[in-house]
Amino acid sequence: MTRDKKITLTQKKYKQLKDEHDELLTIGRKLIADKLDQYREDGRNEDDSMFSELLQEKVLMEKRIEEIDEILENAEITDENQVCDIIGVGCDITLEKDGTTRSMKIVSGIEADPDENKVSEDSPVGKAVIGKKVGDEVDIETPIGTQSYKVVKVQ
């Protein structure tokens, strides 16, 4: 299944996914194949729970390989050093509400990480700020209702 939508990634995330993909294709597949061969050589029954777990691990690994294939196929690399006048993926922004500021980076859903203040372009915050610029007011839907913020910095 191929996505129509491009997935914007930083070069760092692209490389991380490519490395994971390559490792799964080479080391991961070989490791599981070797374990399966060993089970068969040991004369273990294929109904054995450990054998079933290994087969499940193989299925999950193949699904991850397919998922990464799709991401890499649809990846669009963003320039992390881009100058942002208008908010888009890859921009660092600061929002202000009642004298309190909150800084974040707008990223693709794949790179989103709240602990690192990386906000998905598809999140309520991301959707509200994409296309805005310094000085714009944005309304963000939150669980407690609509919150209004001002864009005070875009870089």
Question: What single letter denotes the amino acid at residue 26?
Answer: T
Answer whether residue 124 is part of any domain.
yes
CATH number at 137 reads 3.10.50.30
Condensed to tens digits (0 to 9), the pLDDT of residues 61-93 reads: 999 999 999 999 999 998 777 778 999 998 999
86 in a structural domain: no
Question: Is 139 within the bounds of a domain?
Answer: yes
pLDDT tens string 86-123: 999 989 999 999 999 999 999 999 999 999 999 999 99
- Yes or no: say if 107 and 90 are a contact pair by the CB < 8 Å rule: yes
Among residues 98, 82, 106, 76, the alpha carbon closest in space to that of 8 is found at 76
What CATH code is carried by the domain that includes residue 50?
Answer: 1.10.287.180
Helices and strands (H and E) in the chain: how many: 4, 7
Give the domain-ending residue among 78, 106, 134: 78
**pLDDT, tens digit, 9 for 90 and up, residues 3-52:** 567 888 988 899 999 999 999 999 999 999 999 888 888 877 667 788 88
The residue range of the domain holding 25 is 7-78
Q: What are phi and psi of 120, to 5 degrees?
A: -65, 140
120-154: per-residue pLDDT in tens?
Answer: 999 999 999 999 999 999 999 989 999 999 999 99
Strand duo 118-120 + 100-107: pairing: parallel
Say how many domains are in the chain: 2
